[in-house]
Chains A and B, each alone.
Chain A
Amino acid sequence: MQTFGEFEQLVLFAVLRLGDEASGVAIHDEIEARTGRDVSPGAIYTTLGRLEARGVVKSTVVAEGTGRVGRPRKHYTMRPAGARALRDAYAGLQALAGGGVLAKLNDVAKGSGR
């Protein structure tokens, strides 16, 4: 079973959300908008490069995009196998984090905050 690091999960969910529009800048914006993290493009591309090598995503180079006219962009989409792997990984996390665990997490966080 494939496992994913935290950043890989962020990137993959961003790709999933963006659908056909998942280019480097779009993924950057999506992550920044949802998590407030300003991630570097280099980190996004190397992560996606690695995931592509693992068969999780695939990329296509699109000649025209939403940015400056004529600038080629690389668009990423999820492969079915990748989607299944992410689903399994997330299901595992959910199973572990589900039930009353989140409430507990809140309690502990409050306790440690004191």
Chain B
Amino acid sequence: MKAMRRLAARLVRGEDAAFIRADLEELYARDRSQQISAVRAHFRFFRRLIGSASSVVVHKWPRPSVPRLGWIDLKLAFRLLRRNAGISIVAGLALAIGIPVSLAPIHLTLALNPTLPYPDAHEIVGIDYIDTDYGNDRQLTMFDVARVRREVASLATFAAARRVRQNLASTDGVIDVRSGAEVTASAFDVPRVKPLLGRTLMASDEIAGADAVVVIGHDIWQAQFHGADDVLSKRLRVGSTSRAVVGVMPDGFEFPFRGDFWIPLHVTLDTPPESGFPYVGFARLRDGASRRRAAAELEALRQRLALEHPAPYAKLRAEITEFAFVVTNLRPSVGKVYPVYVASVLLLALACANVGTLMLARAASRQREIAVRTALGASRMRIVMQLFTESLVLAALAAATGLGAAEIALRQLSIVKLFEASLPPWFTLRLSSLSIVVAVCLVLFSGVVSGLLPALKATSRRTYRAIQRGSAGGAMFGWTTSALIVVDVATAVVCLAGVGSVAKGVFRAPSLGATTLAAENLVTELYLPPGVIRGTSPAELPARVERLQRESERRLLAEPGVRAVSFASHFPGMRHLERRIELEGRALARGTDIVRMAFIDRAFLDALGQRVLAGRNFEPADVVAKGRPILVNRSFVDRQLGGTSPLGMRLRLASGPDEPPDAWHEIIGVVDDLGMNVIDPANAAGIYHLINPGQLHPAQMLVRVAGEPEALVPRLRAILNEIEPEVVLDKPVRLDRVFSEELWEARFSAMAFSAVAVAAVVLSAAALYALMAFAVTQRTREIAIRSALGARPLNIIRVVVARALVQLTAGVALGAAIGAALVPEMLSGISLAQNWPTMLAAVSAVMCVIGLLACAAPTTRALRIQPVDALKEV
């Protein structure tokens, strides 16, 4: 019966438990008194007991017996967070960085594959070929477009599109460069969006020889036609073709690319399979047709094509994929994101382990409180829930802060805006509800790892036994703590060394070197659209480009205020080419054989207000000169030649193993550093190669103007369009406002990388401090005994610091070893990274100092304690 009674005590809980148990016993006693056999009475007791227990559980089910989070827990949590503000801020900061950082890869994937804002968007798919050898994708050709359209039945609508960027000019002469799309008429049936005015494209528009038409977006309607009602009776010149405006799409409609005009694509069957432009293929599945069926049909077509044309099709695989992937071309990278998910969650786990250790250290300092509460009847669950609540509140606050900051950054950062502007409008990096759901999961994860587990440990029987024995928190901190310290220090060393090497140069203003006239220069990209180039024979193109360049130079110089005109592949501040070079009769050290390069015309230096520092500038005869002259810059002389005069030296561009070597070039002059490397001006060695007008396409054009250069843009467009109606004058901007992709990419990755590194470092420093301080505090008694026995302070300090030093040294050594292996790999290709060994040494020293500082305060405190007091304490 004793066992039954114990079982009843265990199983029957809740409000009326005492009555129920008493009744159970009474009924049992009556059964026994009524001559019922012991076995039967036990059986009946057991049956009633189970019935009672289950009805109590079922009754209580919506409110499980696990203590609920109440206001009191929240209040306590906030109070404790406030009381230990230092630890709260450090732990909070770590999570405020850790949670958004670990959310980032998932968020990015979600953001890049959004639900399209069109009816039945799940039916919209992308169509793509994958090269089975290399795994990269190969877009459709005109031939594919024609065959897929004719032969795949599962697709309700199949469409193809190509980005175009062309000059638009309405009849009143406003010229503008706009992005748009050349699309099959069916492209409008995929999103099923009705035009605002007129119609969309029709199949009859696609036929060669049909009237040239264009559908315009709301933006062009407003900008070029001032929102005129009779826009459908007007014409718009797109490139050199005058087209009738047949429709206006509603505001915000940009499909399938960012852009706001649509011209018909002429689909013909008689093109060879591998020729022409690449097209993005997309479709709407037929009602009820599955992706799998469509993919099978597409693959069957591919196999038929492979029989007809083995060369291109044998090694391809047809695929139905996400529409977003074919539009952004980001599909191949998605597979690579999964390791990043794991890595980011591991990073968060490390962050949480550290925060958890801080929590545990704090819980240890509260052991007496916990013990008293337990003695007063608080259940273990109750105490665990309270500690868990505290971590959850901390994680939630941290996540809210971190995500709030991230959201503000995503709204404000120009780099994000530029990225978004390059993608269709339904992509946004701003936080979506799905991302927030993931963030909530991460908060729970953080709460569990940093709160629940330490709380369970802090309240475990082993810990209580340790308290009973009188040794305080020792039971909680064993070798795991030492391991964590070592891992922390190592992580911090690796991250800091990596970031420190790069970030230094990234966040200062882009360097334009000695360029002084940037504010007077206008630069713009000048090119003929691919469609025009296709219609021009290869022999004819250079002559056409040369005429354009020479004529525009002549006409522009005749304009008032224009001082100089120059054409080049790159002007200061742009991302220059990189080439490996060989110097005649001289071996170059590894790393110094890569230099930057630009193709320039003879007017380049004059236009930038520069003169040669030594030697001479290019002359007209140099174009055909046998010596193939080049200029080098000051950095080249300093770094590659150690300051010796380069004049007369010869160099050539080193070729790969399979390529014939380049001819030798003679160095004829030295110029100042002119922004060849905006991030790292110390590493800007470069050469300038002379180029003829006409040899460079597309080219950058620079115009030096007296006054505000950007005011010249309309006139510039007018002049150039008179010379060559098709020429696109793209992104005209003042030279000092040139958007250097190089700089922004570097800043973007440095920012992401720094965020991770700062999180790692803050965490490890904090955890290191807390753990060291805690470990020393735990040894107060030992220190007291030692000093009571006559140990001198210096000896005591030695004893205390020795263990800390072992942990620190192990961490630094591990970090340095990993860093030495990883950092050069991580930074390969980043020219700023030469100083990473110094960085590694510096960071190691800093971590040691932090660790020793952490020991200092508690050690001095321990030394000040009177031995007798310390012994009384415990």
CA of A71 to CA of B44 in the docked complex: distance in angstroms?
22
B42 CB to nearest A CB, Å: 14
Q: Could you write out 21 A-B pairs with CB less than 8 Å apart?
A: A25-B26, A25-B27, A28-B27, A40-B50, A41-B27, A42-B12, A42-B48, A42-B49, A42-B51, A42-B52, A42-B53, A43-B52, A43-B55, A45-B56, A46-B55, A49-B15, A49-B59, A67-B26, A71-B22, A72-B19, A74-B16
A-facing residues in B39-95 (Cβ within 8 Å) = 44, 47-56, 58-59
B199 CB to nearest A CB, Å: 63
A38 within 8 A of B: yes
Task: Choose one: A39, A50, A67, A73; the contact of B51 (CB below 8 Å).
Answer: A39
CB of A50 within 8 A of CB of B59, answer yes
B8-50: CB near A (< 8 Å → 1, else 0) gives 0000101110011011101100000000000000001001111
CB of B48 within 8 A of CB of A41, answer yes
CB of B48 within 8 A of CB of A49, answer no
CA of A68 to CA of B26 in the docked complex: distance in angstroms?
8
Task: Choose one: B16, B49, B50; the contact of A49 (CB below 8 Å).
Answer: B16
A39 CB to nearest B CB, Å: 7
B753 CB to nearest A CB, Å: 59
Task: Say whether chain A's binding surface is mostly helix, strand, loop, or mixed.
Answer: helix
CB of A24 within 8 A of CB of B15, answer no
CB of A40 within 8 A of CB of B51, answer yes
Q: Which residues of B contact A41 (CB under 8 A)?
A: 19-20, 23-24, 27, 48, 52
CA of A39 to CA of B51 in the docked complex: distance in angstroms?
8
A49 CB to nearest B CB, Å: 6
Q: Which residues of A contact B52 (CB under 8 A)?
A: 40-43, 45
Q: Which residues of A contact B53 (CB under 8 A)?
A: 42
CA of A40 to CA of B56 in the docked complex: distance in angstroms?
11
Q: Which residues of A contact B54 (CB under 8 A)?
A: 42
A74 touching B51 in the complex, CB below 8 Å, given contacts A42-B56, A50-B59: no
A29-51: CB near B (< 8 Å → 1, else 0) gives 00000000011111101110110
Q: Which residues of B contact A40 (CB under 8 A)?
A: 47-52, 55
CA of A73 to CA of B23 in the docked complex: distance in angstroms?
9
Task: Choose one: A24, A38, A46; the contact of B44 (CB below 8 Å).
Answer: A38
Q: Which residues of B contact A67 (CB under 8 A)?
A: 26
CA of A50 to CA of B15 in the docked complex: distance in angstroms?
12
CA of A100 to CA of B427 in the docked complex: distance in angstroms?
71
Most chain B CB atoms below 10 A, which of A41, A67, A73, A74: A41
A24 touching B23 in the complex, CB below 8 Å, given contacts A40-B48, A49-B16: yes
A15 CB to nearest B CB, Å: 15
A-facing residues in B736-779 (Cβ within 8 Å) = none
- Shortest Cβ distance from B52 into A: residue: A42
- Given A42-B53, A42-B55, A49-B15; 4 other pairs, CB 8 A cutoff: A28-B23, A41-B20, A42-B12, A74-B19
Q: Which residues of B contact A45 (CB under 8 A)?
A: 16, 19-20, 52, 56
CA of A45 to CA of B49 in the docked complex: distance in angstroms?
13
A12 CB to nearest B CB, Å: 16
Most chain A CB atoms below 10 A, which of B19, B48, B51: B19
B-facing residues in A75-98 (Cβ within 8 Å) = none
CA of A77 to CA of B55 in the docked complex: distance in angstroms?
22
Q: Which residues of A contact B49 (CB under 8 A)?
A: 40, 42
**9 A-B pairs with the lowest CB-CB distances in the bound complex, closest first:** A42-B52, A40-B51, A41-B23, A46-B59, A45-B16, A43-B55, A40-B48, A24-B23, A40-B52
CA of A41 to CA of B52 in the docked complex: distance in angstroms?
6
CA of A25 to CA of B29 in the docked complex: distance in angstroms?
12
CB of A46 within 8 A of CB of B56, answer yes
CA of A111 to CA of B707 in the docked complex: distance in angstroms?
108
Q: Which residues of A contact B55 (CB under 8 A)?
A: 40, 42-43, 46-47
CA of A68 to CA of B27 in the docked complex: distance in angstroms?
12
B100 CB to nearest A CB, Å: 45
Task: Say whether chain B's binding surface is mostly helix, strand, loop, or mixed.
Answer: helix
- Shortest Cβ distance from B11 into A: residue: A42
- Shortest Cβ distance from B60 into A: residue: A46
CB of A43 within 8 A of CB of B23, answer no
Most chain A CB atoms below 10 A, which of B24, B27, B49: B27
CB of B20 within 8 A of CB of A42, answer yes
CA of A50 to CA of B54 in the docked complex: distance in angstroms?
15
Q: Which residues of B contact A38 (CB under 8 A)?
A: 44, 47-48
B-facing residues in A96-111 (Cβ within 8 Å) = none
B-facing residues in A3-36 (Cβ within 8 Å) = 24-25, 28
Q: Which residues of A contact B27 (CB under 8 A)?
A: 25, 28, 41
CA of A71 to CA of B23 in the docked complex: distance in angstroms?
10
CA of A42 to CA of B15 in the docked complex: distance in angstroms?
11
Q: Which residues of A contact B15 (CB under 8 A)?
A: 49
Q: Which residues of B contact A68 (CB under 8 A)?
A: 26
A77 CB to nearest B CB, Å: 16
CA of A39 to CA of B47 in the docked complex: distance in angstroms?
9
CA of A44 to CA of B110 in the docked complex: distance in angstroms?
53
A30 CB to nearest B CB, Å: 13
CA of A47 to CA of B22 in the docked complex: distance in angstroms?
17
A23 CB to nearest B CB, Å: 8
B485-508: CB near A (< 8 Å → 1, else 0) gives 000000000000000000000000
Q: Which residues of A contact B47 (CB under 8 A)?
A: 38, 40
CA of A43 to CA of B12 in the docked complex: distance in angstroms?
11
CA of A74 to CA of B52 in the docked complex: distance in angstroms?
16
Q: Which residues of A contact B50 (CB under 8 A)?
A: 40
A11 CB to nearest B CB, Å: 12
- Shortest Cβ distance from B56 into A: residue: A42
Q: Which residues of B contact A46 (CB under 8 A)?
A: 14, 16, 55-56, 58-59
B19 CB to nearest A CB, Å: 5
A85 CB to nearest B CB, Å: 20
CA of A68 to CA of B44 in the docked complex: distance in angstroms?
21
CA of A47 to CA of B20 in the docked complex: distance in angstroms?
12
Q: Which residues of A contact B16 (CB under 8 A)?
A: 45-46, 49, 74
A9 CB to nearest B CB, Å: 16
B529-545: CB near A (< 8 Å → 1, else 0) gives 00000000000000000
B818-839: CB near A (< 8 Å → 1, else 0) gives 0000000000000000000000
Q: Which residues of A contact B23 (CB under 8 A)?
A: 24-25, 28, 41
Q: Which residues of B contact A47 (CB under 8 A)?
A: 55
A8 CB to nearest B CB, Å: 12
Q: Which residues of B contact A42 (CB under 8 A)?
A: 12, 20, 48-49, 51-56
CA of A74 to CA of B20 in the docked complex: distance in angstroms?
10
B20 CB to nearest A CB, Å: 5
A61 CB to nearest B CB, Å: 9
Q: Which residues of B contact A28 (CB under 8 A)?
A: 23, 27
A42 CB to nearest B CB, Å: 2
Q: Which residues of B contact A74 (CB under 8 A)?
A: 16, 19
Q: Which residues of A contact B56 (CB under 8 A)?
A: 42, 45-46
CA of A99 to CA of B54 in the docked complex: distance in angstroms?
39
Q: Which residues of A contact B22 (CB under 8 A)?
A: 71
- Shortest Cβ distance from A50 into B: residue: B59
CA of A46 to CA of B51 in the docked complex: distance in angstroms?
11
CB of B51 within 8 A of CB of A24, answer no
CA of A71 to CA of B19 in the docked complex: distance in angstroms?
9
Q: Which residues of B contact A39 (CB under 8 A)?
A: 51
B113 CB to nearest A CB, Å: 49
Most chain B CB atoms below 10 A, which of A25, A28, A42: A42
B46 CB to nearest A CB, Å: 11
CA of A25 to CA of B26 in the docked complex: distance in angstroms?
8
A-facing residues in B285-326 (Cβ within 8 Å) = none
Q: Which residues of A contact B26 (CB under 8 A)?
A: 25, 67-68
- Shortest Cβ distance from B53 into A: residue: A42
A90 CB to nearest B CB, Å: 24
B107 CB to nearest A CB, Å: 46
- Shortest Cβ distance from A42 into B: residue: B52
Q: Which residues of B contact A73 (CB under 8 A)?
A: 19
CB of A24 within 8 A of CB of B20, answer yes
B412-433: CB near A (< 8 Å → 1, else 0) gives 0000000000000000000000
CA of A89 to CA of B25 in the docked complex: distance in angstroms?
35
